[in-house]
Amino acid sequence: MIVSTKGRYALRVMVYLAQKDAGEYVPLKEIAEAEHISQKYLESIMTVLSKADFVDAVHGKGGGYRLSRTPEQYTIGSILKLTEGSLAAVSCTANTPAGCQRGNCCEARPMWEKLDAMIDNFFEGITVANLLEKE
């Protein structure tokens, strides 16, 4: 599993917004500049986050984006699954429509499924709030 640029940027945006006051709408331009992401690419990410109700969006003067919930309510797994579609380590366990042709006879499949569960449990066990904690 390799997390795409889109997934990494979405995570950075969620952390950035979590650092802002809860009711404050942050302009796209500010986010783009602070996180060194092109506005055009960031727009596509914000559309995905907004459609999934991860962020609230207000257009026009005084508008921008803010988290729709508290940072504790977003797992890293939920953000990455939204942007990546799957966190599967190998394509045959990614629950794609094509599935795996060898699924019923693959001796390695249980191992891959266990790895997928470990990855899922790891990312579902970390919240945006956890990333804000200084160790």
Task: Identify the pLDDT of residue 135.
Answer: 59
pLDDT at 47 over 80: yes
- The 3-state secondary structure of the chain reads CCCCHHHHHHHHHHHHHHCCCCCCCECHHHHHHHHCCCHHHHHHHHHHHHHCCCEEEECCCCCEEEECCCHHHCEHHHHHHHHHCCCCCCHHHCCCCCCCCCCCCCCCHHHHHHHHHHHHHHHHCCEHHHHHCCC
State the fold for domain 5-132: Arc Repressor Mutant, subunit A (1.10.10)
pLDDT given at position 93:
79
Residue 41: predicted pLDDT: 97
